[in-house]
Amino acid sequence: MTPPDSNEPLPWFLKPRNVRRVLVGLFVTCSLFFGLDFLFALTGFDKHPYFQWEQWPGFHAVFGFVACVLLVLVSRFLLRPLVMRDEDYYEKTSSQTEDKTDV
């Protein structure tokens, strides 16, 4: 491993302007798919659902969003306080620090 060079160019993905572009792209795509679902509902497009609610516009979008927010909040505020212990809880040294690195 070598220390970072202060003059090295940032890769495309990490330039702040491009990060903003990626974020805007995500918001736009999300809106597009949300809109598309409403278009399907309005035109009566049959998605061959197994359950009635799958045909509701935005069902999968809302489900995905709510599921992930719940997942993170439950993990952070319920599970972590219950189960988190010190890194050396079981063993004094962790395996990562014992490895030799190959550079």
Partner 1 sequence: MSDALPPSLIYLLGALLVPFLRGRCRQVFALAVPVVAFINYYLITKGVHWRLELLDFELILGRSDAWSLIFLHIFTVLSFIGILFVVRENEPLDLSAGLLYAGSAMGVVMAGDLITLFFFWEMLTMGAVLCLLARKTPASGRAAMRYLLVHVFGGVVLLAGLVLHLAAGGSTAFDRIELEGIGPWLMLFGFGINCAWPLLGAWLTDTYPEASIGGVVFMATFTTKTAVYVLARTFPGEPALIWIGVAMATLPIFYAVIENDLRRVLAYSLVNQVGFMIVGVGLGTPLSLNGTAAHAYCHILYKALLFMSIGAVIYRTGKSKATELGGLCRSMPWTCLFCCIGAASISAFPLFSGFVSKSMIMSSAAAEGQVVVWLALLFASAGVFHHAGIKIPFFAFFSHDSGIRCKEAPLNQLLAMGLASVLCVFVGTFPNAFLYPMLPNLEAGYVPYTVGHVTDQLSLLLFSALAFTLLMLAGLYPAEIRSTNLDADWFYRKGGPAFHHLADKGLNALNAATSRFFLGKIVNGITNFFDSGIARLACLFMTPLWKLMGHDAAQIEQERHALFRRSKIGAFPVSITAFCAVILLGLLTAYYYVAGRW
Residues that bind partner 1 (CB under 8 A): 1-5, 8, 11, 13-14, 23, 26-27, 29-30, 33-34, 36-37, 40, 45-51, 54, 58-65, 67-69, 71-76, 79-80, 82-91, 93-96, 98-103
Minimum gap (Å) between residue 97 Cβ and partner 1: 8
Query: Is 21 or 45 the residue whose CB approaches partner 1 more closely?
Result: 45
With beta carbons less than 8 A apart as the criterion, state whether 70 and 78 touch.
no
Phi, psi of 56 (to 5 degrees): -60, 135
**C-alpha 9: how far from chain center:** 27
**CA separation for the pair 75, 81 (Å, rounded):** 9
Structure-token pair, residue 27: 């918001």
Q: Which is nearer to partner 1, 42 or 82 (CB)?
A: 82
Shortest separation between residue 23's beta carbon and partner 1, angstroms: 7
